[in-house]
Amino acid sequence: EVQLVESGGGLVQPGRSLRLSCAASGFTFDDYAMHWVRQVPGKGLEWVSGITWNSGTVGYADFVKGRFTISRDNAKNSLYLQMSSLRAEDMALYYCAKDFGQQFYSMDVWGKGTTVTVSS
Amino acid sequence: QSVLTQPPSVSGAPGRRVTISCTGSSSNIGADSDVHWYQQLPGTAPKLLIYGNSNRPSGVPDRFSGSKSGTSASLAITGLQAEDEAEYYCQSYDSSLSGVVFGGGTKLTVL
């Protein structure tokens, strides 16, 4: 079964850091680009970051550029999001999503998400 | 303000047809980037509904269809059912932003 399981969310103070992880299983991880997408409860989907199959290209939404870093370890079938200088507006449910292909295209598999709460 | 514009809500009676529009610009849909659609039921993760403008993943009923023209795309749902009540999002790639963009979402209510 194709599966994505996010972890690492939690309560963090403004200005601090947090690292999200996504464990993939059931497919050949290094064949596909991967993404992080977030959603504030009651609001829409926001693409946060993406990384191509070989980490050759990474992309970030403007609102996280310079603060978040996406990475992947194909040997461990894992995707990561290092978040720093966290702000109240970063508080959301963060989804890990598998791309349809090797570049940025569409997202055909989603995890259940991990919640990030930013508060003092 | 989302890069792709969707109506906040649409509604229709059971059995009827509704369409949801997604308007972009020359740097995304108009730049020949494909449009994809997702369905998000309350309390669940999004599900890919349409990819590549008009293709359905296996398991998606043929009541759902997509099209694209110029800088816009549309999702059509025929034979509305109560279970179709959900939030729908369009998504594409923006070459100016060098990233993925979503629409703001459309809430479908089945009357």
The one-digit pLDDT tens for each residue of chain A (120 residues) are: 999 999 999 999 999 999 999 999 999 999 999 999 999 999 999 999 999 999 999 999 999 999 999 999 999 999 999 999 999 999 999 999 999 998 989 999 999 999 999 999
Which CA distances in Å does A35 have to A49, A56, A80, B16, B89?
Answer: 6, 14, 10, 35, 16
Interface check for B45 against chain A (CB to CB < 8 A): the answer is yes
Interface of B with A in 66-105 (CB under 8 A): 87, 89, 91, 93, 97-105
Chain A residue with the nearest C-alpha to that of B42: A42
pLDDT 10s digits, B23-57: 999 999 999 899 999 999 999 999 999 999 999 99
Confidence (pLDDT) at A21: 98
Q: Which of B40, B45, B101 sits opposite A47 (nearest CB)?
A: B101
Whole-angstrom distance, CA of residue B20 vs CA of residue B66: 10
Whole-angstrom distance, CA of residue A84 vs CA of residue A68: 6
Interface check for B5 against chain A (CB to CB < 8 A): the answer is no
Whole-angstrom distance, CA of residue A2 vs CA of residue A9: 22
